Structure 1
Amino acid sequence: MITASPQSTTTTALMTTLFLTTTTSLVTSITTASPQSTTISTSTLTLTTTATSTPQHPGWMNTGSMNNGRQYHTSSVLTNEKVLVTGGLSYVTVLNSAELYDSLTGTWTTTGSMNNARQDHEASILTNGKVLVTGGRDSSVLNSAELYDPSTGTWAITESMNDARAHHTASVLTDGKVLVSGGHDGNVYLNSSELYDPLTEVWISTSNMNDARYGHSTSLLTNGKALVIGGYNGTALNKAEIYDPSTGIWTSTSNMNNIRFFHTASILTNEKILVTAGWDDFSLYDSAELYDPSTETWTITGSLNSRRQYHTASVLMNGKVLTTGGYRGFILDSVELYDPLTGIWTTTDSMNDARFNHVASVLTNGKVLVTGGYGNAVALNSTELYQSS
């Protein structure tokens, strides 16, 4: 984690405290809630924002603002094509609120609030259309999990994870189960992983990763296996490993060329994994590399035009990768496009707002919705749309 007033210092000492500080002091004691199966629904007063559709920078258009400024939140494109945003940090307040974006009207509407306020959590869209939110933290790191039902707009508590964790990853496997791996419990970096079964609403422990890590990425390969990349566990990692759901075992694969965490990982249409930027113990990266699952090898590709971390990367319908914003000693509004055919990055139109710790979602119409983040010394409620030419 980072503080609300980012500094350009990138030292190992800073990184060891990232998880332990935000705009307010993080209490590192763990709240271990007893697993619950009781359904608890919530409701809130419905508020709707008005969309603004005045183009600012070419390629980007402002759309309706969220009801709450937020960073460290999640954004999920639902099966009904609306976008669900949950939780996050609004200045010094951790949020339990959730809201929906309607791409047809460009407006945001509040929906039921979560049972627990949380930031640095994960949200996964299940095969039944519900959304599973896991972990994160408020005044302590959470092991709680809850389900959002888009048909009712309400949240229900489901069984808690075996480990409290934040800055973990959560991936929906081909069998519909959700693989949660790594993170930090407020005291130590985790190598544990566990599986959520939506049919039974039960968590099952599976084998541990070879390396504890947080700030890593997980990508689901076309063969159904899950690739975990990089992260931090007291030192930045270049290590990668693969989880096989058929055996429940983690196996090391070849290392990246660069150690990195708080990077992005994108699955390209050619099935390779593009990893971009991030940082090591001392400096930010502009480098990018490709993982080939067929050979289990890494290859350096073209570097970005700007070093960055806490950015986003989205695979567009034309196969190119859109990278937005981030932080490099100052907050970025710059945007770049990666062309897998040439391996080259080109700058494109900047966002209207510089931001990091934001989220980007590819909508069914091909546009990219960017929400929130930190900029202008506040958690942003602004959102904007990118449409490639």
Structure 2
Amino acid sequence: LTFASNQRTTFPAGPEFTYAATWNPATGQFVEYNHPSHDMFCGALVTLPDGRVLVNGGRNTTVRSSLFDWRNNTWTRTPDMNDPRWYNTSVALPGGRVWTVSGSGGSGTAERWDESSGWSRLTGINWNTVTSEPGYITIWHPFLLLAPDGRLIHFGPTDTMHWVAPDGSGSMSNTGTTVPGSHYPKEGSWVMYDEGRILVAGGGANTTASSSGDGTTGTSSTLAYTVDVRSGTPVVTSTASMNFARQFANAVVLPNGQVMVIGGNTSGLKFNDTGSILTPEIWNPATGQWRAAADASVPRNYHSIALLLPDGRILSGGGGLGGNSADHRDAQIYTPPNLFNPDGSLATRPVLNTVPPSVGVGTRFTVSATPGLRKFAFIKMSAITHCVNTDLRYLSLPFTETSSGNYQITAHPSLNVMTPGYWMLFGLDAAGVHSVAKIILVDATTSVSVVAPGNQASYVGQSVSLQMIGSGPTGSVLTWSATGLPAGLSIAGATGRITGTPTATGTSSVRVTLSNGNSSDFEDFTWTIQPQTFSQNFPNFTGASSLTLNGNAAITGGPVQPGRHWPELFDEHPVRFPDSWQRGWRGRIDVRDPGKRRHIPRSCRWRSWL
């Protein structure tokens, strides 16, 4: 989906209207789907869990917001915001809501969108704390991303970083960290290149406006830094500087986990190609170093975009709309070097054959593909404007190759990390060549889970019945299976009940799996089968309040007498022991029943029994 404003080739003026179109990478075809009542020029945009795009704010410093539905290619107005905004930033939240802040008109306020209730202003957030900091312009697309703990991290371009709680009436707090040195990365590029890890590169060298600009940009910088928010306390680290100073560049994370920065200029001039940098650079997170990539032939500066395509190539396009030679109504596609052989011919790419259409967090799902793959990269499909992309994130998913060409992949357990929406799954072979992606929906409701039953203990010759508990998406067909069960036991695939009579002693490592055909979950536990009669020595016992007899059991020598000390009654001295719940006591009393069996009394916080 592409759009600009109410003019095709000049800076916009006039009514609320936007020229918009879809582009098909497979055919190169554009089809127009214009918006008749909202000029979305320079508003904020995010993708929702179902793939729709929400755009709020825009030219005319407007309160308007709109949805584009890719399923029928239609625009729909949503309720207006409380405050007008232009150059704001929005973040999609895991529950399907959207948070937005700042921009001209609403520079000091934040709002949250809910499809059922519209926009609500968050009274607990005073963004004037941010916009009052030094900078040649501070009411402009703040840098914000969803952190692994569910908060939002604000990490630039103003100096002080903040935590933002987007729920309730909202709140914000100083993280105690700042942008390194004098770097003011407005008009810089940034991306979440791994779980909770962010790269920021370029922008302004300091908070002084460039004398050659219009007062809204600075002196272009080569500086770069990373922000690691996995621990809940941001760790800010300077990394190697780029080879070229850039403003207006765009960042894209590649399937191998490296980051490509494309375009930008050294002059800091908007609607101007002076000082254009045609050489992209690629940053390696393993080394922190940059390397040059193949040159583009068209400048990509202010208002340009860059996105990773499902075929693993990078789209770089657009720029301008000032009505001059810096307008670029075209695009170029970059093919990464790992897709070529050393002789320049195209490499043979691995193939993903079958993947599930949707997965849930924490699930395990099956993929069939070229044998011997070494990596599965999961990259969020996203929306970008003004170098701002709050959707984009990258995960390397753990996996096992269960048989040749068949893989069990484990999804991340958190919706704050593996956010709801559409993702691209790439497979990489031993040479680092990546496949064409398969598109998978991360569905917050598509989750299969198994409740841990805890370690089990039973006796030879005594019947067993253990009901496993699990859940899955509404309407899905769930199937149970188990490996490692003790001899004599089996599981019912439809109900998850484990039954039977153990036939041999020993301890088994059991795995019980629940699957809905697309994804699965499992729990591991041990199952100990004991003989009918056994004993164990314990050196001490601190006491217990009662012993309840049931069935045909009786205590040899008569019932417990009031005031009697428990250790005197035990044939073997009791001891405190740890179990999976707390500390308890266990000892042995020979209690005879008609079958001449011995029973072990146990005591814990809730009850005692034989």
Given the superposition, is the C-alpha separation of residues 322 and 202 from structure 1 closer, same or farther in structure 2, using an over 3 Å criterion? closer
Distance 1:240 1:52 in 2: 34
Distance 1:58 1:180 in 2: 34
Segments of 4+ moved more than 4 angstroms:
49-53, 294-297, 319-324, 363-366
1:157 aligns with 2:174: yes
Distance 1:64 1:174 in 2: 35
When the two structures are superposed, what TM-score results if normalisation uses the length of structure 2?
A: 0.38
Distance 1:116 1:226 in 2: 28
The aligned runs of 1:16-31 (5 Å cut-off) are none
Of 178, 189, 192, 2:223 maps to 192
SS at match of 2:194: coil
Of 186, 201, 220, 2:253 maps to 220
SS at match of 2:297: coil
SS at match of 1:134: strand
> In structure 2, what residue type is equivalent to 1:66?
M
Shift of 1:88: 1.3
> In structure 2, what residue type is equivalent to 1:172?
M
- Partner residue, 1:338: none
Task: Tell me if structure 2 keeps the 8 A contact 1:217–1:228.
Answer: yes
- Partner residue, 1:337: none
1:275 aligns with 2:316: yes
Given the superposition, is the C-alpha separation of residues 265 and 151 from structure 1 closer, same or farther in structure 2, using an over 3 Å criterion? same
Given the superposition, is the C-alpha separation of residues 164 and 283 from structure 1 closer, same or farther in structure 2, using an over 3 Å criterion? closer
- Partner residue, 2:113: 101
* More deviation, 265-274/275-284: 275-284
Shift of 1:364: 5.5
Given the superposition, is the C-alpha separation of residues 293 and 172 from structure 1 closer, same or farther in structure 2, using an over 3 Å criterion? same
Shift of 1:62: 0.7
- Partner residue, 1:266: 307
| Identity within the alignment, % | 23
Higher relative contact order (CA 8 A, sep 6+): 1
Distance 2:104 2:152 in 1: 20
Of 143, 147, 150, 1:126 maps to 147
- Partner residue, 1:116: 130
Of 58, 78, 81, 2:93 maps to 78
Q: Which runs of 5+ in 1 are unaligned?
A: 1-6, 10-48, 137-141, 298-318, 325-362, 367-389
Cα-to-partner distance string for 1:239-277 (whole Å, 9 max, x where unaligned): 200111100001111111211112011122222211121
Distance 2:66 2:336 in 1: 43
Q: Which runs of 5+ in 2 are unaligned?
A: 1-8, 12-62, 132-138, 210-217, 268-274, 341-379, 386-418, 423-610
Structure possessing the higher radius of gyration over alpha carbons = 2
Distance 2:384 2:151 in 1: 28
Distance 2:193 2:381 in 1: 25
Task: Tell me if structure 2 keeps the 8 A contact 1:121–1:167.
Answer: no
Of 202, 213, 225, 1:182 maps to 202
Given the superposition, is the C-alpha separation of residues 240 and 69 from structure 1 closer, same or farther in structure 2, using an over 3 Å criterion? same
Of 149, 170, 173, 2:190 maps to 170
Given the superposition, is the C-alpha separation of residues 52 and 268 from structure 1 closer, same or farther in structure 2, using an over 3 Å criterion? closer
> In structure 2, what residue type is equivalent to 1:282?
S
Task: Tell me if structure 1 keeps the 8 A contact 2:247–2:265.
Answer: yes
SS at match of 1:250: strand
Distance 1:194 1:240 in 2: 18
Shift of 1:205: 0.6
Task: Tell me if structure 2 keeps the 8 A contact 1:51–1:63.
Answer: yes
Distance 2:331 2:235 in 1: 38
Distance 1:273 1:160 in 2: 32
Given the superposition, is the C-alpha separation of residues 96 and 170 from structure 1 closer, same or farther in structure 2, using an over 3 Å criterion? farther
Shift of 1:113: 3.0
Shift of 1:52: 10
- Partner residue, 1:143: 159
Aligned residues: 251
- Partner residue, 1:241: 281
Distance 1:125 1:156 in 2: 15
> In structure 1, what residue type is equivalent to 2:249?
H
Task: Tell me if structure 1 keeps the 8 A contact 2:64–2:77.
Answer: no
> In structure 1, what residue type is equivalent to 2:202?
G
When the two structures are superposed, what TM-score results if normalisation uses the length of structure 1?
A: 0.58
1:293 aligns with 2:324: no
> In structure 1, what residue type is equivalent to 2:120?
T
Given the superposition, is the C-alpha separation of residues 218 and 322 from structure 1 closer, same or farther in structure 2, using an over 3 Å criterion? closer
> In structure 2, what residue type is equivalent to 1:253?
A
Of 72, 84, 87, 1:69 maps to 84
